[in-house]
């Protein structure tokens, strides 16, 4: 685990996510994305109106047992706030140990109860947890007992059941155990690209006293505001929409050139590996490049080649 923050306490702790979610204002959230929502990208989206960022999903057992895993999976710095660390877990003790490790560096943890990937569910992580409300309750309870900071949030991110009453029951049990908020991806485990069930998210919100964040297929600030109004939730979480346009929350309909320049500065300063650096640019430039330009740009194999290309074509 690496941090440029000395002391390790987040300097922007005053930006309390729980207070933000109770403010009545739209809270704009960057989703936990495997490989993508790391420190450099979080730094970028914060420059463009993102209020709250999540780390990529981290397997709690590996994080606790391996220093190497901690160093590779979790990097932060002084400005990386407010921050939620998302864990994949199926054991209350290991999760609470992981939470105690990150507590000085983050505002809270989130339990992944929504990942539908087969490997995660086979390990007892992710979306299979929506069918195990007692285990979710035990994990939340253990973190609450082990982490002394009362402002440290514990949240869950879920998918919905075909029978929505089961989802409402899960959420009520989580709320009773002390969950700070719930993020709802409005699809079932089996659904991938089908329309998001925003009405289901609205019903869940109406049955909760704690904040709820809506997630699923939001690609612009206007769509974020529409979903916020339709569902009555307290925030919206965006994944692929931010990958394609990190300036989305600032109201841009496509990635502005200044945002690309900011990404280059941030990524190079933080030592982002080339593959990640290039992949983010490929996403960002999807809408502003022709098919021929994409073929050329996507085939570039070094940072210097990328910088030369952008200078020649965009004056960056």
CA 167 to chain centroid: 21
Q: What is the DSSP letter of 107?
A: S
- Options 115, 128, 171, 259, the catalytic residue: 115
Q: Is 22 annotated as a binding residue?
A: no
Q: What Cα–Cα distance (Å) separates residue 160 from each residue in 12, 163, 187, 209?
A: 33, 8, 6, 18
Q: Is 34 annotated as a binding residue?
A: yes
Q: Is 208 annotated as a binding residue?
A: no
Helices (H), 212-314: 221-231, 240-244, 257-269, 274-284, 291-298, 303-314
Q: Is 32 annotated as a binding residue?
A: yes
CA 121 to chain centroid: 19
CA-to-CA distance for 120 and 88, rounded, in angstroms?
A: 8
Q: What values do phi and psi take at 3, rounded to 5?
A: -145, 135
Q: Is 113 a catalytic residue?
A: no
Query: Which pair of structure tokens corresponds to residue 267?
Result: 């990524």
CB 115 within 8 A of CB 87: no
Q: Going by C-beta distance under 8 Å and a sequence separation of 6 or more, which residues neighbour residue 88?
A: 57, 58, 59, 60, 112, 115, 120, 123, 125, 126
Q: Is 195 annotated as a binding residue?
A: no
Helix, strand and coil content of the chain, in percent to the nearest 5, comes to: 50, 15, 40
Q: Is 240 annotated as a binding residue?
A: yes
Q: What Cα–Cα distance (Å) separates residue 104 from each residue in 59, 113, 273, 292?
A: 19, 24, 26, 48
* SS3 state of residue 83: strand
User: Per-residue b/e over 175-191, b at no fewer than 16 CB within 10 Å?
Assistant: bebebbbbbbbbbbbeb
Q: Is 192 annotated as a binding residue?
A: no
Q: What is the DSSP letter of 159?
A: E
Residues annotated catalytic, as ranges: 115
Instruction: Point out the annotated binding site for FMN.
Output: 32-34, 86, 185, 239-240
């Amino acid at each position: 685990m690496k941090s440029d923050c000395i002391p390790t306490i987040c300097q922007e702790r005053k930006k309390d996510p729980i207070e933000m979610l109770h403010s009545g204002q739209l809270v704009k959230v960057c989703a936990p994305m495997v490989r993508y929502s790391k420190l450099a990208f979080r730094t970028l989206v914060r420059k463009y109106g993102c209020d709250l960022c999540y780390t990529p999903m981290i397997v709690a057992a590996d994080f606790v047992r391996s220093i190497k895993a901690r160093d590779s999976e979790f990097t932060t710095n002084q400005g990386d706030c407010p921050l939620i660390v998302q864990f994949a877990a199926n054991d209350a003790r290991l999760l609470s140990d992981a939470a105690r490790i990150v507590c000085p560096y983050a505002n809270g943890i989130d339990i992944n109860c929504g990942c539908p990937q087969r490997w995660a569910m086979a390990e007892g992580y992710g979306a299979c947890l929506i069918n195990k409300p007692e285990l979710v309750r035990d994990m939340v309870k253990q973190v609450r007992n082990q982490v002394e900071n009362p402002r440290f949030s514990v949240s869950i991110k879920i998918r919905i059941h075909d029978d929505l009453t089961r989802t409402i029951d899960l959420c009520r049990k989580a709320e009773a155990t002390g969950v700070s908020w719930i993020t709802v991806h409005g699809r079932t485990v089996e659904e991938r690209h089908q329309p998001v069930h925003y009405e289901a998210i609205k019903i869940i919100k109406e049955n909760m006293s704690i904040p709820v964040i809506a997630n699923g297929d939001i690609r612009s600030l206007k769509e974020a505001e529409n979903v916020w109004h339709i569902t009555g939730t307290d925030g919206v979480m965006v994944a692929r929409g931010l990958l394609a346009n990190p300036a989305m929350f600032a109201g841009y309909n496509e990635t502005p050139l200044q945002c690309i320049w900011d990404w280059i500065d941030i990524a190079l300063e933080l030592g982002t590996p080339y593959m990640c650096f290039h992949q983010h640019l490929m996403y960002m430039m999807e809408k502003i490049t022709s098919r021929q330009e994409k073929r050329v740009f996507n085939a570039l194999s070094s940072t210097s080649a990328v910088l030369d290309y952008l200078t020649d074509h965009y004056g960056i």
